[in-house]
Chains A and B, each alone.
Chain A
Amino acid sequence: MASSSFAAASHLLYPAALVGSSFAPRRGRPAAAVPALRRCRRRAARASAAAELNASAGAAAAAVEGGREFDFKGYMVARAAAVNRALDAAVPVAYPERVHEAMRYSLLGGGKRVRPVLCLAACELVGGREPLALPPACAVEMIHTMSLIHDDLPCMDDDDLRRGQPTCHVVYGEPLAVLAGDALLALAFRHLADPSSYPSDDLHPPAPRLLRAVAELARCIGAEGLVAGQAVDLESTGLADPVSLDRLEYIHLHKTASLLEASVVLGAIVGGGSDDQVERLRRYARCIGLLFQVVDDILDVTKSSQELGKTAGKDLASDKSTYPKLLGLDKSRQFAEQLLCDAKDQIAAFDPAKAAPLLHLANYIAYRQK
């Protein structure tokens, strides 16, 4: 039933060319995703008849899955604090001070640190020591921040506020905002590639792994990844006709999922994960990236501005294409259910205790109320 409307999703989510890394070409593994998908769809079909995505169902699922109590909130708070300390140390105020202040203003201005936490969790999941993943965790957050700084520029989205604070170019001026973004982009790679960023001389990933991580980050954020998503998104806004489902998915998979993919893949690589583990986590990230956007679109039409803490119905009022507009609300919910299920399938083979953070992150994204 549901599968026909999800056809676009499945071929974009699991194209062979996108799943393999340049280092470990996948040999026939993309096919392995398909049985999981089918199994998931049957389960999703049963589930969607019984329960709708709502807060209580989410809470119940979160408590039961994983087989034990897991303090998700405590986990997130502790990891975010560790990441914040590492970011603070990674960008000292050096000469010229104003450039570094602008970088720090945007980088340390708060946020949930979802990407770095994904990176740390993926590293632990494959058996790596968590401190090993702090440099890549910082790198993905630097890239995320840099993309927000450039995105907020008057020539792009032209936003004056981000998380309730004036944006970088409002505080420091446009030229410095461009430079601070560029400097964060460079620093992300330097921090990731430099063995001295890691806990100690004898505890850093071997050079081939670090090179593989650098190549993954480069691919995920460049013209094949994040930049492609931003470019197609910019080109698609303000069009009279709604964009196709294919294009909407392309935008979200590149603009949002790419950097989530980099986060878990980098964590798994520095943690010493096998190719198979890396690919499972890659698919997990692509699912939750898309899931995030589908849920965003659903919340925009179902919640009030007060509940969301931002203007509701904005997508409807503007010409922005959304899943509810293209699929309808019911099918959008089914799609979200399927994506959540797919994401969980990818981490089902891991030790449940170690997989708990990623499981709860997926639930958190699916069942959030704003």
Chain B
Amino acid sequence: MAFSALFLSPRVSVPKFSPSHLPNPKPHHLAFSIRCSSSSSSSSAAAASFDLRSYWTGLISEIEAELEAAIPVRYPEWIYEAMRHAVLSGGAKRASPVMCVAACELLGAPRAAAFPTAAALEMAHAASLVHDDLPCMDAAPLRRGRPSTPALFGVSTAVLAGDALFPLGFAHVIARTPPALVPRPALLRVLAEIARAVGSTGMAAGQFLDLSGAAAGGEAEVLLVLEKKFGEMAECSAVCGGLLGGADEDDAAALRRYGRAVGVLYQLVDDVLMEDEEGVGSNGRSPGKMRSNASAVRALGIDRALEIVEELKDKAKSELRRFDDKCGERVLPLYSFVDYAVHRGFLVAGAGAGAGGNEV
């Protein structure tokens, strides 16, 4: 197996990981016969030797520091505390920020160019989760094994904290992105991208379609829910990273398609794993609580789901080919995200991971 080195690599020991999860990750790919692409290019073969886990965990600590500094506690303190709980309470994988930073680095720009935007992506994401946990929505008392923001701070504070996180992310991007690294017009495009991704045709559309039962429809409907709820945000992360790194239009378009495919891929594989383990997800999620109201796999059938997994994996990797020569090893993190999405070689979580993250 070309990728076993990825998840069995003992190279790093990061104290933030819950030790019980570390030594022997369950080799899901064997249980599910998700086929490994036999047409691995030299780059994806090289990806096997790329240590995604240490790359990812190294970035998490930098992203946590960025978020920590981005949300101070001022009067009225309870609102700021609720915002901090939503964003900083631990257990998050920070996949959107990591994707954003990797896409920025792909183009040869320093990662400092991407950190403020990475934080804003996480704040926008957290805002949608806080509202998702409201009693009138999913009514979730727990999130990542901890009390959800509405459960801990009350419903009205949770509504307001969600409303405040989104603008705070925008203000942070503008105030903190080094002007020497990112031209102002590119920054403006990044802000418009984030606003579009979470808006009425993006994540909000996905939430609505999910609530209204579209995920129980045919294949097109099921995939549309996954695209809106998860593809949009991953697409936004990748394209924002590219724009911050100075991508031209063609590179940005390729990153857009890549991000979308990876976002859907990750969720679909999550569904496959949950179905197989009777509700216990790949990251130790408790049974019965899923981020989608209907399982995509149940609607598609396991065989069709696995076919789509293969298609998305190939699609995502083919979008990266254009970067193989001009970006060299900098493209490896992006290849390895695709393999990680399929094989889940290790658990990723921030400080104090209990139950695993509940979303990409």
Identify the A interface with B (CB < 8 A): 22, 91, 94-96, 98-100, 103, 146-147, 150, 153-156, 174-176, 178-183, 185-187, 189-190, 193-195, 207-208, 210-212, 214-215, 217-219, 221-224, 227-228, 230-232, 234-235
CA distance A98 to B213 in the complex (A): 13
B79 on interface, CB distance cutoff 8 Å: yes
Q: Are A99 and B184 in contact (CB under 8 A)?
A: no
With both beta carbons as reference points, the residue of chain B lying nearest to A174 in the complex is identified as: B136
CA distance A295 to B185 in the complex (A): 43
Q: Are A222 and B199 in contact (CB under 8 A)?
A: no
Q: Are B164 and A223 in contact (CB under 8 A)?
A: yes
Contacts of A183 on B, CB cut-off 8 Å?
A: 199-200, 204
Q: Are A222 and B188 in contact (CB under 8 A)?
A: no
Q: Are A185 and B76 in contact (CB under 8 A)?
A: no
State which of A95, A174, A227 has its C-beta within 8 Å of the C-beta of B160: A227
Q: Are B79 and A227 in contact (CB under 8 A)?
A: yes
Q: Are A235 and B163 in contact (CB under 8 A)?
A: no
Q: Are B83 and A178 in contact (CB under 8 A)?
A: no
CA distance A175 to B139 in the complex (A): 11
Q: Are B192 and A96 in contact (CB under 8 A)?
A: no
State which of B74, B156, B168 has its C-beta within 8 Å of the C-beta of A218: B168
CA distance A150 to B131 in the complex (A): 11
Contacts of B212 on A, CB cut-off 8 Å?
A: 96, 98
Q: Are B200 and A94 in contact (CB under 8 A)?
A: yes
- Can you give 20 contacting A-B residue pairs, CB < 8 Å? A96-B205, A100-B200, A153-B136, A155-B136, A155-B156, A156-B159, A180-B200, A185-B163, A186-B202, A189-B192, A195-B188, A207-B187, A211-B187, A214-B174, A221-B167, A223-B164, A227-B160, A231-B78, A231-B79, A235-B76
Q: Are A155 and B200 in contact (CB under 8 A)?
A: no
State which of A98, A103, A150, A175 has its C-beta within 8 Å of the C-beta of B159: A150
Contacts of A217 on B, CB cut-off 8 Å?
A: 167
CA distance A174 to B128 in the complex (A): 15
Q: Are B208 and A176 in contact (CB under 8 A)?
A: yes
Contacts of B209 on A, CB cut-off 8 Å?
A: 96
Contacts of B175 on A, CB cut-off 8 Å?
A: 22, 215
Q: Are B167 and A156 in contact (CB under 8 A)?
A: no
Contacts of A153 on B, CB cut-off 8 Å?
A: 136, 159
Report the minimum CB–CB distance from B166 to chain A (whole Å).
Answer: 6
State which of A180, A181, A182 has its C-beta within 8 Å of the C-beta of B128: A182
B207 on interface, CB distance cutoff 8 Å: yes
Q: Are A218 and B167 in contact (CB under 8 A)?
A: yes
Report the minimum CB–CB distance from A238 to chain B (whole Å).
Answer: 13
B4 on interface, CB distance cutoff 8 Å: no
Q: Are B157 and A182 in contact (CB under 8 A)?
A: no
Known interface pairs A175-B137, A190-B196. Does A223 touch B166 (Cβ–Cβ under 8 Å)? Answer: no
Q: Which residues of chain B (144-195) have a CB below 8 Å from chain A?
A: 155-157, 159-160, 162-164, 166-168, 170-171, 174-175, 183-185, 187-188, 191-192, 195
B2 on interface, CB distance cutoff 8 Å: no
Contacts of A231 on B, CB cut-off 8 Å?
A: 76, 78-79, 157, 160
B201 on interface, CB distance cutoff 8 Å: yes
With both beta carbons as reference points, the residue of chain B lying nearest to A215 in the complex is identified as: B174
State which of B171, B184, B201 has its C-beta within 8 Å of the C-beta of A208: B184
CA distance A180 to B204 in the complex (A): 8
Number of chain B residues whose Cβ lies closer than 8 Å to a Cβ of chain A: 50
Contacts of B171 on A, CB cut-off 8 Å?
A: 22, 215, 218-219, 222
B134 on interface, CB distance cutoff 8 Å: yes
B80 on interface, CB distance cutoff 8 Å: yes
B211 on interface, CB distance cutoff 8 Å: yes
Contacts of A227 on B, CB cut-off 8 Å?
A: 79, 160, 163-164
Q: Are B74 and A95 in contact (CB under 8 A)?
A: no
Q: Are B167 and A178 in contact (CB under 8 A)?
A: no
Report the minimum CB–CB distance from B171 to chain A (whole Å).
Answer: 4
Q: Are B136 and A175 in contact (CB under 8 A)?
A: yes
Known interface pairs A98-B208, A155-B159. Does A219 touch B198 (Cβ–Cβ under 8 Å)? Answer: no
B135 on interface, CB distance cutoff 8 Å: yes
Report the minimum CB–CB distance from B140 to chain A (whole Å).
Answer: 13
Q: Are A211 and B184 in contact (CB under 8 A)?
A: yes
State which of A103, A154, A175, A212 has its C-beta within 8 Å of the C-beta of B200: A103
Supply 10 further A-B pairs (C-beta < 8 A) apart from A185-B166, A234-B156: A95-B205, A100-B200, A146-B163, A155-B136, A155-B155, A186-B195, A189-B195, A193-B195, A207-B183, A230-B160
Contacts of A208 on B, CB cut-off 8 Å?
A: 184
Q: Are A224 and B74 in contact (CB under 8 A)?
A: yes
Q: Are A207 and B208 in contact (CB under 8 A)?
A: no
Contacts of B198 on A, CB cut-off 8 Å?
A: 182, 186
Contacts of A96 on B, CB cut-off 8 Å?
A: 205, 208-209, 212
Q: Are B159 and A215 in contact (CB under 8 A)?
A: no
With both beta carbons as reference points, the residue of chain A lying nearest to B131 in the complex is identified as: A178
Contacts of B200 on A, CB cut-off 8 Å?
A: 91, 94, 99-100, 103, 180, 183, 186-187
Report the minimum CB–CB distance from A255 to chain B (whole Å).
Answer: 11
CA distance A210 to B184 in the complex (A): 9
State which of A156, A187, A210 has its C-beta within 8 Å of the C-beta of B188: A210
Report the minimum CB–CB distance from A234 to chain B (whole Å).
Answer: 6
With both beta carbons as reference points, the residue of chain A lying nearest to B162 in the complex is identified as: A182
Report the minimum CB–CB distance from B86 to chain A (whole Å).
Answer: 12
Q: Are A182 and B204 in contact (CB under 8 A)?
A: yes
Q: Are A222 and B204 in contact (CB under 8 A)?
A: no
Q: Are B201 and A94 in contact (CB under 8 A)?
A: yes
With both beta carbons as reference points, the residue of chain A lying nearest to B186 in the complex is identified as: A207
CA distance A98 to B207 in the complex (A): 12
CA distance A143 to B167 in the complex (A): 11
State which of B75, B76, B83, B208 has its C-beta within 8 Å of the C-beta of A179: B208
Contacts of A218 on B, CB cut-off 8 Å?
A: 167-168, 170-171, 174
Q: Which 7 A-B pairs have the closest CB atoms?
A: A190-B195, A174-B136, A186-B199, A218-B167, A183-B200, A155-B155, A222-B167
